[in-house]
Amino acid sequence: MSGVTQLPETFDDLPNKRQYWPAPAGSEEEGLGMLRILTPEIVAEAARTQIQTGERVCLNWDIENLNPPGFGRKAFEHRIKWVAEGVAFDDEYHFNPQQTSQWDGFRHHANKDGVFYGGTTAEEIKDTQSPRIGIGCWAKKGIAGRGVLIDYVSYAQKKGISLNALSRQMISLDEVQEIARECNITFQKGDIFFLRVGLPGTWAAMSAEERKTYSEQPLPQHAGIEQSERVLRFMWDHHFAAVASDAVSFEVFPAINEEFDLHHHLLAGWGVPIGEMFDLDELAATCERLGRWSFFISSSPLNCARGVSSTPNCMAIF
C-alpha cells in the first residue's frame, strides 16, 4: 500500500471536517480509504510487538445467529446438495453479510447529500461495470495490523451498569477513555479499534418471540458509542485504520445526535471501515487472562469487486 497521502495531523487541520477525499477517483488508493495507513512498516511493527504467545481467537459470530435479522434483511440459508450422488457434496450459502459479522464497505452508506466516499454516486454503484470503492479493493491485501479492545461489557459489570445491546444505550467517550486508562492502552496510528457492547449476551438471553419482535420493528434500537464532535476528534486524531464492535450499528441507533452521525463521517466522509456484530466475547476473556488489550489482527474480506459489505473472516493473534 505505497503512495500514502500525508494525513492532516489533527481534526482541526481538516479543511472540510465532513470529508477527506485525497485520492483520484477510481484509484486503488481511493478504494482503500484509511486502510492505506496500513503500510508494510506498520503491519510488520504490529506483528513484531503483538504476536507473543501464538494464541488465536476468531472474531466471526455464528453466521446463523441473528435470526430473524432486522431491517427486513434476508435470513441466512444453508443447503447441502449432492454434486455427484454417492460421491461428493457441495453446499450453497444464501445470506446478506449485514445479518452477521460484517465490514461495512464504502458503498454501504452515503453522506447527508446522498453521495458516497470519494464523491461516488449511487448510479456508479449500481453500474455493473464499475468497481469503484467496492469491497474488492480491500481483498487484494486484506486488513492487518494492531487491534485494541475497549471492553465496555466488563466495565459495566464492575460499575453495576445494566446493559442491553438492543436498546438505545449510549457509551460515552469519557467511558471509553476511562477504560483505556485502566487497561494502559495507548492508541497508535493505524490501530483497529474494537468496542465490546455485548450483543451476543443480549441475543442469547432473548426468547424466540422477543427475537421476532425485534426483527419486525420498523426502527430497531441499538446500543453503541455516542455521536459527538468529541468522538470525531478522537477518531481522527488517533488515525484509526478501521473501527469495529459487537453491536449491530457500532454507534447508538437511532442517532442521538444526527449532526455527528458516524456512518456519515467515517464511511462516506473519511473512508474508515466499520465492523459490526463481531464476536468479541472470547477475545475479551483472552485479553483479561493475559492482562493485555492489544493484539495482531488479520482479516480477509471477500474478493468481490463491486461488493458493498463483507464477512470479516477475522482473527486476533496474541
pLDDT digits (tens, 9 = 90+) for 33-62: 999 999 999 999 999 999 999 999 999 998
Catalogue the E-assigned strands of 95-164.
102-104, 143-151
Please report whether residue 285 resides in a domain: yes
Q: How far is CA 19 from CA 111, 119, 215, 236, in A?
A: 9, 10, 33, 11
Whole-number Å distance between alpha carbons of 106 and 213: 30
Whole-number Å distance between alpha carbons of 118 and 124: 12
Please report whether residue 100 resides in a domain: yes
**Does position 177 have pLDDT exceeding 90, yes or no?**
yes
Q: pLDDT tens, 103-130?
A: 999 999 999 999 999 999 999 999 999 9
**Does position 251 have pLDDT exceeding 50, yes or no?**
yes
Please report whether residue 244 resides in a domain: yes
Provide the mean pLDDT of the chain. Answer: 94
**Does position 218 have pLDDT exceeding 90, yes or no?**
no
CATH number for the domain that contains residue 79: 3.50.30.50
Q: How far is CA 64 from CA 19, 69, 77, 94, 101, in A?
A: 36, 10, 8, 11, 10
Residue 1: the pLDDT is 43
Residue 69: the pLDDT is 82
Grid coordinates of 140: 487484494
Burial tier of 291 (Cβ tally within 10 Å: 0-12, 13-18, 19+):
exposed
pTM of the predicted structure, to 2 decimals: 0.95
Cell match 501464538: residue? 54
Please report whether residue 68 resides in a domain: yes
Residue 2: the pLDDT is 43
**Does position 163 have pLDDT exceeding 80, yes or no?**
yes
Which distant-in-sequence residues (6+ apart) come within 8 Å of 302 by Cβ?
97, 135, 136, 139, 310, 311, 313
Q: pLDDT tens, 185-217?
A: 999 999 999 999 999 999 999 999 999 998 888
Handedness of CA 167, 249, 229, 236 (dihedral sign): positive
CB atoms within 10 A of CB 247: 29
Q: Is residue 171 a contact partner of residue 224, using CB atoms and an 8 Å limit?
A: yes
Range of the domain at 51: 20-317
Domain count, the chain: 1
Q: pLDDT tens, 299-313?
A: 999 999 999 999 999
Q: Is 111 left (phi over 0), alpha (psi -120 to 50) or beta?
A: beta
**Does position 5 have pLDDT exceeding 80, yes or no?**
no
Please report whether residue 1 resides in a domain: no
Look at residues 108, 136, 135 and name the one whose alpha carbon lies nearest to residue 122.
Answer: 108
**Mean pLDDT, residues 127-148:** 96
Please report whether residue 173 resides in a domain: yes
Which distant-in-sequence residues (6+ apart) come within 8 Å of 152 by Cβ?
163, 171, 175, 176, 179, 195, 196, 197, 198
- Selected residue with higher pLDDT from 26 and 3: 26
Residue 164: the pLDDT is 96
Q: Are strands 294-299 and 314-317 parallel, antiparallel or unpaired?
A: antiparallel
**Mean pLDDT, residues 172-189:** 97
Look at residues 40, 42, 43, 23 and name the one whose alpha carbon lies nearest to residue 31.
Answer: 23
Residue 3 banded pLDDT, cuts 50, 70, 90: very low
Q: Which residues pair with 80 in a beta bridge?
A: 91
Please report whether residue 6 resides in a domain: no
Please report whether residue 88 resides in a domain: yes
